[in-house]
Amino acid sequence: MLRLKIILQSKILLYICLIIVISISLIRVNINQKSIYNINDNSFIGIIDNIKIDDDKYTFILKAKENLKCTYYYKDINDVNNFNIGDKVQVLGKLNIPMNNTTPNTFNYKKYLKYNNINYTLTVTNIKIIKKNKNILYILKDKLIKYVDKFKSKSYLNMFIFGNKDELTEGVYEQYQRLSVSHVFAISGMHVSLFSGILLKLLKRLRDNIKYPIVIVFLLFYAYLTNFAASILRSISFFITSFVNKKYDLNLDSINIFILSISILLIIIPNLIVNIGFIYSSVISYGLIKHSSLIKGNYIIKSIKISTIANLYSIPITLRTTYKYNLLGIVNNLIVVPFVSFILYPLSLIILIIKPLDGIYFKIINIFEVIVNKLFILDISFIKLSTITIIIYYILLTIFFMSYEKKYLVLMLITLLFNKYIYLLDNSYYAYTLDVGQGDSILIKHKDSNILIDTGGKVDSNYLYTNNTIMFLKSIGAYQIDYLILTHGDFDHMGEAINLVNNFKVEKVIFNCGEFNELEQELIQTLDKKHIKYYSCISNIDNMYFLQTKEYDNENDNSNVIYTELNGYKFMFMGDASTTTEKEILNKYNLLDIDVLKVGHHGSKTSSGKEFIDGTNPKYSIISVGKNNRYGHPNKEVLDNLSNSKIYRTDQDGSIMFKIKNNKLKIETCSP
């Protein structure tokens, strides 16, 4: 025991141990675990967990031989009302391989599921109960979920009790994220500390050997209610390790307890190493524990110090994951943190017992949201932080807290700013065809010049592709759009334009020839409010030429057809122009040997006529098209016409990047 005490009291040994554990965990999570299921399997038996009902969609986790993420589209709510958490069921359906992100630097659903030990999603056709649940844990969880669902304030109760943010009003959580206060609403150490503190006071008459194990059992049940949220597990691990330290008189200080608890947790659950909630919680907690001696003064001073330390430690993680930082986040936290910590969260526990207070709590929530909407947002966008930048930042941060010399803060800022503007040193030309489903969106980038052709639209999905587009733009240093060019007024080409200009800096907008339709007029109203200049039916901007020859009587043929040369490589973007426009353009311009052709109208048979393809002779052809789209795009005849070129399709290849550097063309895809 004495030898163990000596080892555990050595910070150097514990740090080395943590580095080894982190390294092994990273290796373990990146090892491809082969599924026990075959893609053709269609019948599965398991336990229902994590139920969610949304409109006509019933989703749940099936705990079978291997976890499956299940989706069941029901016709009648009674079809699913009889299913409860813990029920053993037989499920029939079709296995699906989850998709990777098809836009670079955005959320990867396949990896997310993999890190949660899920290899397949399942589209369910039938569910049959084999055995109703009798497990007391499932029964308690199911009853509590259904009980909370009856409250007016259920959206916040679900968030505070179960860690489920899905029921918040649309845009509310996004507002919290923009204000840099969303971490307050994540179930974390604050909740565990409050919960455990209440329990310890209630059990204060009991001996430590009795009351601490009781509290641990309650905390583990709490973790079960939150589906073992990563930040909760970290906090509980720290609590348990602290108890062991006290029980066996190991004489470990807080930082040693923290490192030891993190190491043990990662050994047991290596997947936590890639969980963003765990990373945030761990890094911020480490900073606050490490520098707890600095957190002195009255409440306001202590709050400022806590918020400052937490921000200094979390900035690289925020920038790595969201590509932006709110400069006023510290100020906003001074308002939001105490409101949530001392009012919203404690009340959420109280009204579970005293339900009549629900109405008052609901009004308090409304007041809180009004206050939050008055807070300040001053976002600064950042290119995706490189690993070396993050390492340098934390080295400088460590030196600063050892020496308290302000020059290291300056060096930290310089490091971040260098990463922010490093793209200006890149002399390459880029042309990105972004995967926006059944639609078009193309970015032309060179240093700080950014031109976006079309925005895509939500034609076949409820998913907001613009959020992906904005995140991608920021991640590569496209902090503003100099020109937003809309080839024409169809929804699949400009349906996301309003959302884009409302959430991103756009300098000028260019429309095609012809009268403005309703969609274009709606956008113009937004542009006028924001004082954004717009033009229509122009002939050229910078090095881009608009080849339309006359005004037609339909939106597709009025598409802006754009020709440009990027470092000597010829690019042509056809919008939805038909063979009629193609013939006119061929007669007027000499366009032989186009390097990259963005094929017209998503590969529809109305475009890409043989005469036009032979006349332009593209080396590479891009078809922007939605996966399994209802139009049957691309057409086989069009594919035959393009057979002499290398064809890229967004439904098969995801987003496609053409990079020109030193007169050499490099092509990369972001495949599903």
Q: What is the pLDDT of residue 463?
A: 52
Whether residue 539 has pLDDT greater than 80: yes
CB atoms within 10 A of CB 179: 23
Residue among 16, 22, 19 nearest 272 (CA): 22
DSSP run (H or E) holding 347: helix 345-353
Asked if residue 167 has pLDDT above 80, the reply is no
Q: What is the pLDDT of residues 612-660, one digit of tens each?
A: 999 999 999 999 999 888 899 999 999 999 999 999 999 999 999 999 9
Q: Is the pLDDT of residue 130 over 80?
A: yes
Q: Is the pLDDT of residue 183 over 80?
A: no
Q: Which CATH fold would you assign to the domain 43-134? A: OB fold (Dihydrolipoamide Acetyltransferase, E2P) (2.40.50)
Q: How confident is the model at residue 460 (pLDDT cuts 50, 70, 90)?
A: very low
**Residue 532 corresponds to which tokens in the numbers above?**
């954004």
H helix intervals, 33-135: 78-81, 109-115
pLDDT at 186: 72
pLDDT at 26 > cutoff 50: yes
- Other C-beta atoms closer than 10 Å to the C-beta of 94 total 14
Residue 162: pLDDT band with limits 50, 70, 90 = confident
Residues 6 or more apart whose CB falls under 8 angstroms from that of 475 comprise 104, 105, 323, 383, 384
Please count the residues of the chain.
672
pLDDT, the chain, mean: 91
Percent residues over pLDDT 70 in the chain: 98
Instruction: Calculate mean pLDDT across residues 553-563.
Output: 92
CB-based contact 559:575 (threshold 8 Å): yes
Distance (Å, whole) CA 82 – CA 60: 14
Does the structure show a pLDDT above 80 at 3?
A: no
Structural domain boundaries of the chain? 2-27+154-290+323-381, 43-134, 426-670
Alpha helices in 269-298 (DSSP H): 276-290
Structure tokens at 451: 């031109």
pLDDT for residue 76 is more than 90? no
What SS3 class is residue 205? coil
Quick one: tokens of 8? Answer: 């555990």
Which pLDDT belongs to residue 619?
97
Q: Which residue has the higher pLDDT, 24 or 468?
A: 24
Local confidence band at 164 (pLDDT 50, 70, 90 cut-offs): confident
What's residue 277's pLDDT? 87
Residue 406 phi, psi dihedral angles, 5° rounding:
-65, -20
The confidence score (pLDDT) of residue 503 equals 86
Q: Could you tell me what percent of the chain has a pLDDT over 90?
A: 69
Per-residue confidence (pLDDT) for residue 172, from 0 to 100: 82
> How far, in Å, CA of 656 to CA of 650, rounded?
7
Q: Which tens digits make up the pLDDT trace of 197-236? A: 888 888 988 988 899 999 999 999 989 988 898 888 999 9
Quote the pLDDT of residue 77. 84
H or E segment to which residue 108 belongs: none
Contacts of 374 (CB under 8 A, 6+ apart): none
Q: Is the pLDDT of residue 596 over 80?
A: yes
What's residue 216's pLDDT? 93
pTM assigned to the model: 0.89
What CATH code would you report for 426-670? Answer: 3.60.15.10
Tell me how far apart the alpha carbons of residues 322 and 178 are, in angstroms, rounded to a whole number: 10
How many other C-beta atoms are found inside a 10 Å radius of the C-beta of residue 75? 7
pLDDT band at 462 (very low <50, low <70, confident <90, very high): very low
